[in-house]
Structure 1
Amino acid sequence: MAENNEKKQHFILVHGACHGAWCWYKLKPLLEAAGHRVTVLDMAASGIDQRPLEEVRTLSEYSKPLLETMDGVIGGGEKVILVGHSLGGLSLALAMETHPDKVAAAVFLTAYVPDTVNSPSFVFDMHSEVNHIEDFLDMEFCSNGSTTQPFTSMLYGPKFLSSYLYHLSPIQDLELAKTLARPSPVLHESLSKAKNFSEEKFGKVTKVYVICKEDKILEKQFQEWMIQNSGIQNVMEIEGADHMPMFSKPQQLCQCLLHTAKKYV
């Protein structure tokens, strides 16, 4: 339990592609047991959010639940700690750009991190060049929309989840993901046309990166490249964590976030 003289923080947890607020079911009670407030969100057309995928074509549309939540943060004396997993790192960046004064720290959990020099799609471009996944197994890419407004969605299949995301996670959590995973928009095209994140807003927020050493999606070397490219100084590592540390190493992840709440806020 948190000591009485330790300031309580408000964590906002943002999931990655094809997932939802449900993926934080282990971490949320751990942080709350330490005395902190925790908000878990479904991004647009994710989890139990009812918006149709056809309405989610840009990062802003996808991140609307987070941006609306940030609008509701009082500001001034109240700041939040944002935690973004995987694709959620881009949603964090957008929230940092729009509400920099409301964010005490942003934690990128084996997540994509943009910079202020290149297009927001740059990290995706670089990842595609070094991605070592040789067999996409049953991962699905689908063309959606109309001929004049096409867009692409993706869905992790059961075999892909087992082989690349959940290979060190409990089988019960893998089965949960097989049941609850939903298609996610591929945002690369819209991000390639979006303006850069700014040094004055996104750039000034304290950033923390949590490396997951056994991640097969964002391999450790690429995580380290993003850290260097974005200039993040605050870095922690979790041994034995796959791409889903909230399942494979929830206690260790919780300790990283408690450390962040104490040190960087």
Structure 2
Amino acid sequence: MEVSRQRALIVLVHGACHGAWCWYKLKPLLEASGHHVTVLDLSASGIDRKSLNDVRTLADYTAPLLEVLDSIPPHEKVVLVGHSLGGLNLGLAMDKYPHKIGVAVFLAAFMPDTKHGPSYVLDQYCEGTPAEEWLDTELLPIGTPEDPLTSMLFGPKFVSLKLYHLCSPQDVALANALLRPSSLFREDLWKKSPFSNEGFGSVKKVYVVCTQDKAIPVNFQRWLIENSAVDEVKEIENADHMSMLSTPPELCQCLLEIAKEYA
């Protein structure tokens, strides 16, 4: 594996129901190439102590990431990587801290734009996904009619058949043991204005397509790319939705190339 000579600060943001734990294979590979890597649990995720009942908005959910970026010195910029729903966390962070992000990497992720509200890409995905495609995923209303929220927890069938179908049995077992209820936060995002051109729109963007993804299929990933201008598109062959677990060396090489180009 080629090692980049330039040391970058890479921040890895997990997707829904997951936590910092899902990067356990990728983090040491990137660090072995000389980069500093930060992984974090978003609110009510991983070992974060909050309950989903305490996390009502995307901003609440994203708070740990915003705290990390707030702590970055003004002269430094990060390579910010968001997986799956983590693309929405990136959108919020890019709008708030565009000057601290050298490049935003959307890894098989929902990528918003500056033309529509931030719920738009999720709405398009949900409207185009038949109910039976969610398999045994639990979608439950929580909260009150005045403050609604829909919780989401991937079931074992969805994990093994849609998310982790090219991963090892050990990683499937790990996921089923560690996944926590999350949300798409659509109820909150329906109320929000589009991300700004001055914030989100000013940050360099790279989209990484996972060609064997059954959770966010390739055709939808390509639609996301067409919907929101990106600076570069990369592909990882034979990667399912969880490329950090199914193809970590290939993903590492991809991120090293991005860091070398944009960091």
- Partner residue in 1 for 2:248: 250
- Partner residue in 2 for 1:28: 27
TM-score, reference length from structure 2 = 0.96
Please give the per-residue CA displacement for 1:125-162, whole angstroms capped at 9, x wherever unaligned.
Answer: 11123326734322111221234323210000111101
- Partner residue in 2 for 1:237: 235
- Partner residue in 1 for 2:179: 181
- Partner residue in 1 for 2:203: 205
Report the Cα distance in structure 2 between the residues aligned to 1:118 and 1:223, rounded to whole angstroms: 17
Give the counterpart of 1:215 among 188, 209, 213: 213
TM-score, reference length from structure 1 = 0.96
Q: Is 1:136–2:131 an aligned residue pair? A: no
Report the Cα distance in structure 2 between the residues aligned to 1:247 and 1:214, rounded to whole angstroms: 13
Please give the per-residue CA displacement for 1:210-253, whole angstroms capped at 9, x wherever unaligned.
Answer: 00001111110110111111011301000111110001100000
Q: Give the letter aligned to residue 24 of structure 1.
A: W
Q: Give the letter aligned to residue 16 of structure 1.
A: G
Report the Cα distance in structure 1 between the residues aligned to 2:145 and 2:199, rounded to whole angstroms: 37
What SS class does the counterpart of residue 63 from structure 1 fall into?
helix
Misfit runs of 4+, over 4 Å: none
CA 1:152–1:192: 2 relative to 1, 3 Å:
same
Provide the aligned C-alpha RMSD in A. 1.4
- Partner residue in 2 for 1:105: 103
Report the Cα distance in structure 1 between the residues aligned to 2:2 and 2:8, rounded to whole angstroms: 11
Give the counterpart of 1:157 among 155, 158, 165: 155
Report the Cα distance in structure 2 between the residues aligned to 1:142 and 1:132, rounded to whole angstroms: 17
**Is 1:57–1:185's contact at 8 Å kept on the other side of the alignment?**
no
Structure 2 spans left out of the alignment, 5+ residues = none
Aligned pairs, how many? 263
- Partner residue in 1 for 2:224: 226
Report the Cα distance in structure 1 between the residues aligned to 2:130 and 2:30, rounded to whole angstroms: 34
